[in-house]
Amino acid sequence: MQRATLDLWVGLFVMAGIAAVLFLALKVGNLGGYDSSETYLVKAAFDNIGGLKPRAPVKSAGVVVGRVAEIGFDPKTYEATVTLSVSARYPFPKDSSASIMTSGLLGEQYIALEAGGDEKMLVDGDALKITQGAVVLENLIGQFLYNKSESETPAAGE
Amino acid sequence: MSDNLIEIRDLSFAYGPRQVLKDINLNARRGQVIAIMGNSGCGKTTLLRLIGGALRPTSGSLLVDGTEMGQLDQAGLYRLRRRMGMLFQFGALFTDMSVFDNVAFQLREHTDLPEAMIRDLVFMKLNAVGLRGAHDLMPSELSGGMARRVALARSIALDPMLILYDEPFAGLDPISLGVTGNLIRRMTDTLGMTSIVVTHDVQESLKMVDYVYFVSEGVIVAQGAPAEIKDSPLPYVHQFVHGEENGPVPFHYPAPDYALDLGLAA
Amino acid sequence: MIDTLLATLRRIGGRTVDRVWRMGVAARFFLLVLLHSGPSFRRFHLIVREIFTAGVLSLIIILVSGLFVGMVLGLQGYETLQTYGAEESLGVLVSLSLVRELGPVVAALLFASRAGSAITAEIGLMKATEQIAAMEMMAVDPIARVVAPRFWGAVISMPLLAALFSAMGVVGGYLVGVVLIGVDEGSFWSQMQAAVDFQEDILNGVIKSVVFGIAITIIALFEGYDAPPTAEGVSRATTRTVVTSSLAILGLDFVLTAFMFRGV
């Protein structure tokens, strides 16, 4: 095969390969959606993080505004410390609250950020005061059974 | 400067415990065609590879153009090899390149000549072997004789001072035999180089060589000009030259008694 | 009785020592190829030629296989997800399976059988017909001229082929899931985008395919170069290339997956 035709085919092949990688990165993966531009870090303490993982989304009103950067444990308060990386495009008031939600019934867990009413905004390194830990299924079932037995006991009693 | 291009003194080569060559003494002058003959497995191909530098002698001296082959490093060996050519038994042409590209290979690898000049040189070399018209063919489209001629053209691409031929006559038809023999002689004379031909074709080689060395079991048993060899009284040489069935090289492979094998003896 | 046992043990031990020794020779060969790679890059058209032989000529089998694997994933995935009412996650299933595992591994296995065996046969045949020896006699280093370009050509082709395989697979999954079965197109892509992370999934897949490419090519080149110069020797070497490469791919896949996806 002539050199020129060979080079043409190889060039096409390499371009197709790179196009495939781009397709995977942008259309299949999340590279296009989330821009890793300026972010600020905010800490939050939870009594139970459930199944929350690093890089889980941080959503507000259902829109992804950041990612979970780090999950740690505070040996003094025996609580979980989660570091959130929020996009600098979305400033939140200082009294915002964070709760751990589940997408769907059995889905992935994420952090829902609800804006407060404070005029001052969170800055890098601040901590969220109001947090709601994950709903643990076993506790829910235990609570349900307890409530059920409570409502039945007066009837069974005298 | 000695008139001998190749001087071999008391050369010995062992492959592990096996002694392949012992006390070889050989001279080759510039412009000569030397034949090394012997039956299969006598060590003649090993000798060729030693001269080409593919193997290192175990002991003795091997001088090619005044350079001791055994003491060369890789770079020195490659430098010397650029002045040597080798013709392999079946040509060993590069199968993924055309005839033209095969002959042009060394020119493109070792020189900075422009393509126009390379084209002229390749055509000249191919013309010398009579295959200028076949320059576009691929090696798979060539006959055995043609392939070997192209290989010859390839080996003279850089006008070497020495060419080594490994069984150049093996498996050729009578016409190709004559052509090859003539080419070897003509190349050596026109280009003023030296040719070492390893062969067991007696007819063709005795027609055109200047001197013959006979090797048997790793030792040189006879040497001389073609006429001397043809009339040699030595039994091994005689058996070889005349193609006799029995002589120093026996017909029967070593075996126990015939009667014993047939179950007849007591 | 004891004698036969000892003899068997000695034989097994000998074979194992041979294999280990051979691996050492292969490792030295690898180093030699890397050291002699300079000329390949200075005369890049040599590598381009090998990218054609290893990459472009493998395109058909990679694209077709990728498409079929993706379609099967779509079908099987739908069946399984339906039992949990999670059909909308089909995109996630197809894309993650492909990008993380099937793309690099299956593409590598196909590459080993097609391009790997071809490389072994080529080099083995060149050695058997004395072309390598002829090159050495012409003062051209065969490792630099013949072996190294094939190494780099194949190593460059492998990740590209794996990416093309995964991309075709996603297309195949889409064709079956959305077009044929009727899964919602929007959730197919959006859930996929939410679940597939560039760094963790795609980049790791690319790294895997590069590692596989290196392993396959070195095995193929070494088997070809080391093969006995006979027809039988070359054909045995070709088989060995495919078997050894496949085992290496699967073994390396486990090691790499353990490192990369160890979970949090």
For the stretch C82-96, pLDDT in tens is 888 888 888 888 988
Domains of chain A, residue spans = 1-33, 39-143
Residue from the list C131, C133, C137 with its beta carbon closest to the beta carbon of B94: C131
Subunit contact A30:C197, Cβ cutoff 8 A: yes
pLDDT tens-digit map of A85-104: 888 888 888 888 888 888 76
DSSP A93: B
Q: How far apart are CA A108 and CA A11, in angstroms?
A: 42
Across chain B, mean pLDDT equals: 87
Does C have 3 or more CB contacts under 8 Å with A? yes
Distance from CA of C158 to the nearest CA of A (A): 10
Among A118-127, B55-64, B180-189, C192-201, the range scoring the smallest mean pLDDT is C192-201
- Residues within 8 A of C (CB atoms), A 31-70 only: 31, 33, 53-55, 57
Q: Alpha carbon B20 to chain centroid distance?
A: 18
From C57's Cα to the closest Cα of chain A, the distance in A is 10
Q: For residue A158, what pLDDT band results from cuts at 50, 70 and 90? A: very low
Residue C106 has pLDDT above 80, yes or no: yes
Reply yes or no on whether the pLDDT at B264 is more than 90: no
Q: Which chains are adjacent to chain A, needing at least 3 Cβ pairs under 8 Å?
A: C
Put the strands of the sheet holding B59-64 in their side by side order: B18-29, B4-15, B59-64, B67-68
Count of CB atoms situated within 10 Å of the CB of B243: 8
A141 touches chain C (CB under 8 A): no
With CB atoms and an 8 Å threshold, state whether B81 touches C137.
yes
**In sequence order, which ranges of chain A are alpha helices (DSSP H)?**
3-23, 137-156
- For A84, list phi and psi in degrees, rounded to 5: -100, 140
Which chains are adjacent to chain C, needing at least 3 Cβ pairs under 8 Å? A, B
For C134, the closest chain B residue by CA position comes to: B92
What is the structure's pLDDT at A153? Answer: 62
Contact residues of B toward C, CB < 8 A: 52, 54, 77-79, 81-82, 84-86, 88-90, 92-95, 105-106, 109-110
C231 touches chain B (CB under 8 A): no
What number is the average pLDDT over the span B243-247? 78
Asked if B86 and C129 come within 8 Å (Cβ–Cβ), the reply is no
**CA-based torsion, C160, C162, C165, C167: positive or negative:** negative
Chain A nearest CA to C23, separation (Å):
32
Read off the tokens for A115. Answer: 């804006």
**pLDDT above 70 for A36:** no
Q: What pTM did the predictor assign?
A: 0.80
Alpha helices for C83-196 (secondary structure H): 90-96, 103-111, 117-128, 131-137, 142, 148-174, 185-195
Query: Which tens digits make up the pLDDT trace of C160-197?
Result: 999 999 999 999 999 998 888 888 888 888 778 777 77
B67 falls in which pLDDT band (50, 70, 90)? confident
Please determine, for the modelled complex, whether the ipTM score is greater than 0.90.
Answer: no
Average of pLDDT values for C108-123? 95
Chain C residues whose CB is inside 8 A of the B82 CB are 138-139
Give the tokens for residue C111.
């590459």
Facing residues of A132 across strands? A99
Position C227 scores a pLDDT of 92
A41-98 residue pLDDT tens? 888 888 888 878 777 788 888 888 888 888 889 888 888 888 888 888 888 888 888 8
For residue B180, which of B154, B204, B214, B162 has the smallest C-alpha distance? B204
CA distance B266 to B1: 70
Q: Please tell me the predicted confidence (pLDDT) of residue A107.
A: 67
Phi and psi (nearest 5°) for B224? Answer: 160, 180
For chain B, say whether C35 makes contact (Cβ under 8 Å): no
Please indicate whether, in this complex, the C-beta atoms of C129 and B90 are within 8 angstroms of each other. yes
The predicted structure's pLDDT at residue C178: 86
Q: How far is A27 from chain C (nearest CA, A)?
A: 7
Q: Which distant-in-sequence residues (6+ apart) come within 8 Å of A124 by Cβ?
A: A40, A41, A42
Q: Is the pLDDT of residue A18 over 90?
A: yes
Asked if the C-beta of C133 comes within 8 angstroms of chain B's C-beta atoms, the answer is yes
CA distance A1 to C8: 54
Q: Which of A132-136, B85-89, C8-12, C50-54 has the lowest mean pLDDT?
A: A132-136
Give the separation between CA C76 and CA C83, rounded to whole angstroms: 12
Q: Which of B252-261, C90-99, C202-211 has the lowest mean pLDDT?
A: B252-261
**pLDDT score of B1:** 44
Which of A3, A53, A54 is facing C45, going by the closest CB pair?
A3
Q: How far apart are CA C174 and CA C162, in angstroms?
A: 18
Cβ-count burial of C201 within 10 angstroms (0-12 exposed, 13-18 middle, 19+ buried)? buried
Edge-first strand order for the sheet with B219-224 is B84-87, B162-166, B194-199, B33-37, B211-216, B219-224
For A60, residues 6+ apart whose C-beta sits below 8 A from its C-beta are A90, A92, A112, A113, A114, A115
The domain made up of B4-234 is a member of CATH 3.40.50.300: yes
Looking at this protein, which amino acid is placed at residue A28?
Answer: V
Q: What is the pLDDT of residues B185-194, one digit of tens each?
A: 998 998 889 9
pLDDT score recorded for residue C135: 92
Q: Residue C17: left if φ>0, alpha if ψ -120 to 50, beta else—which one? A: alpha
Phi, psi of A102 (to 5 degrees): -115, 135
